[in-house]
Amino acid sequence: MTTLASMCHLIRSKNAGPFVLTFDLMFATRADYERAKRAQPLTPARLAALYQVPAELITLVYHDNALAIKASMPRPTVQGDPTDADCYGGQQYVPLLTIEVE
Amino acid sequence: MNRGAAPGIVARMEIRVLSPTGALGAGFKIDSLQRGVARRPHVIACDAGSTDSGPASLGSGAPKFSRDAVKRDLRLLLYARQTLGVPLIIGSCGTSGRDVGVDWMAGILREIAAEESLVVRTALIKADQAPEYVMRRWAEGRILPLVPAPPITPPVIQSSHIVGMMGAEPIAAALQEGAQVVLAGRASDSALFAVVPELAGADRGAAWHAAKILECGAACAVVPAADALLAYVRDGHFDIEPLDPAAACTPLSVAAHTLYENGNPFLLTEPSGVIDTTDATYLAVSDRRVRVCGSRFTPATQYSVKLEGARQAGFQTIAVGGIRDPQIIRRLGTVLPFARAYFDDRIADLFGGHVAPDSYEIDYRIYGRDAVLGPLEPMRDVIPHEVGVLITVTAQTQEVATKIATLVCHASAHLPIPGYHGIITTIAYPFSPPEIERGAAYRFTLNHVCLPDDPLEMFRTEMVEVGR
């Protein structure tokens, strides 16, 4: 077992427009990427539970050329709304860091 | 792989597109721009706006970058344009791409033209959408929600500043009328870079995928930078290369760039169609240059223009403080709701019922506990040794927000802590007075597309000779 954080050289979150939050998990090596692709540590159901959004609204793709997993979902709060604390959505990836990969 | 053309039938096409930086005003190296000019690009294009810094620019019309920073970049790009005799296209002027942003950019252009004795035939393309137009299209069912979208109501439309994100077509029309400089309102970033290759009849898949990479300047390079990038758009492929010799594009860095700020890296929607990168391949042709083959562009059956809207959401007064006593930190979860009820009573008393409880918000963010992730915070029950407190009061006017904030800040400094007997000061404020007026707050109101009858319908172009 290892964590996503230790397999990736970059995990980030960002706005994709004011209403969508997007996550990029960029793996350090092809071997790490292939291992994650087999183990599927991230699924729409997993992300739905972590971020409290409906699973059917989550886009999740594996990008072989970029050695990356990408996930997008409705922003938990709309960017800049009075209750939004992260205007760029840049710190929302942290719950992903400790996810374990077989 | 170069598909090539049969000899003697069609000459091999190459359109070179120069992107000086990811955002006009963010800067770039002069040497990088000069290296780009030496490659004789057919167009220089640069994006000057985004919703990324939040709804304030669209709501207020105020640009994000300073006038001086934008003027520095624009002056250098005008020199480069003058040297080459090719179009210079600036999109989403003034951050929001509102009409006031285009006028602001035109003012800077006029100033530079006067200082440098330049004359430039300039197209100003405005993208503001009148509430009457949006209301009509909405009533016709020609405004459709994206996912997710807030609900549309007539008051929301009437109280919002709305812009339409233009595609390549209004810019193409301006270039065909002889514009040397295009100052566009809100525009698809990619359209700025795709328009000249499209007019030249380039491969649309290569042109639009290249445009998608170019829009962020050298952000796709190793190391990412606010600097210049050049694309060579050819039949069946494009090459991409940063213009700083110390930077490089790699197959991985270019492939990964379609991830950035996009919802789906394989299907990227533009007004006139979808960029499909599913089967794109990325090949190093040197240690700094990457060749991308296999990109497709699928024309849309229905042209669509994305709408962005923002409106004022009241006025805010804030205060910043800190708490160090672990006993107080431990009690915040019970003390703050209690304080909130007390504030509502005091405010009703103070304003004699003129300020309804649902017309203001008092919000505490506890930095060090759960301010950044809120209810998603996995460690919110850990008691830290110190927390920061951000108090935000939002009300209908600045005056009311500040009156409420003075009451809240005073009372918050003396929260009743169970187990403590006698008065104690519970928050350390660094400033005197603690209240800071933040001005108007804004919120985004639209995530929709409009279906116009034709791509030019929503945009207004004015041709002006600047400097004469």
Segment B304-361, tens digit of pLDDT: 999 999 999 999 999 999 999 999 999 999 999 889 889 999 999 988 888 998 999 9
Query: Cβ contact (<8 Å) for B260 and A83?
Result: no
B343 near B362, Cβ under 8 Å?
yes
Chain B residues inside the 8 Å CB shell of A17:
51, 263, 447
pLDDT of res. B390? 97
CA distance B110 to B106: 6
CA distance B143 to B146: 10
For residue B424, the Cα-to-chain-centroid distance in whole angstroms is 46
pLDDT of res. B11? 57
Instruction: Render B393-458 in DSSP notation, one character per residue.
Output: EEESSHHHHHHHHHHHHHHHTTPPPTT--S-----B--SSS--EEEEEEEEEEEEEEE--SSTTTT
* Minimum Cα–Cα distance from A22: chain B residue: B263
Tokens of B251: 């197959």
Nearest CB neighbour to A61, from listed B56, B265, B280: B265
Query: Cβ contact (<8 Å) for A83 and B365?
Result: no
Chain B residues inside the 8 Å CB shell of A66:
252, 255-256, 258-259, 265
Instruction: Render B19-56 in DSSP notation, one character per residue.
Output: E--SSTTS---HHHHHHHHHT--SEEEEEEE-STT-TH
Tokens 């970029």 sit on residue: A66
Helix B168-176 to helix B189-199 angle (10° resolution) is: 50
B317 near B393, Cβ under 8 Å?
yes
pLDDT of res. B4? 43
Chain B residues inside the 8 Å CB shell of A51:
376
B105 near B165, Cβ under 8 Å?
no
Query: Cβ contact (<8 Å) for A65 and B281?
Result: yes
CA distance B359 to B442: 15
How large is the ipTM?
Answer: 0.94
DSSP 8-state secondary structure symbol assigned to residue B249: -
Element holding B160 (H helix, E strand): none
CA distance B136 to B142: 9
Query: Average pLDDT for consecutive 10-residue bins of chain A (102 residues)?
Result: 95 96 97 96 96 96 96 95 94 96 92
Q: Which distant-in-sequence residues (6+ apart) come within 8 Å of A86 by Cβ?
A: A92, B372
pLDDT of res. B397? 97
Query: Cβ contact (<8 Å) for B378 and A82?
Result: no
Query: Cβ contact (<8 Å) for A24 and B148?
Result: no
Residue ranges of chain B with per-residue pLDDT less than 70:
1-11
Task: Give the strand order in the sheet containing A68-74.
Answer: A8-15, A20-27, A68-74, A59-63
Cis peptide before B375 (omega within 30 of 0): no
Q: Which distant-in-sequence residues (6+ apart) come within 8 Å of A81 by Cβ?
A: B313, B443, B444
Give which of A20, A21, A25 to mutate to test B binding, by max B Cβ within 10 Å: A20
pLDDT of res. B422? 87
B73 near B24, Cβ under 8 Å?
yes
How many distinct helices (H) and strands (E) make up chain A? 4, 6
pLDDT of res. A84? 94
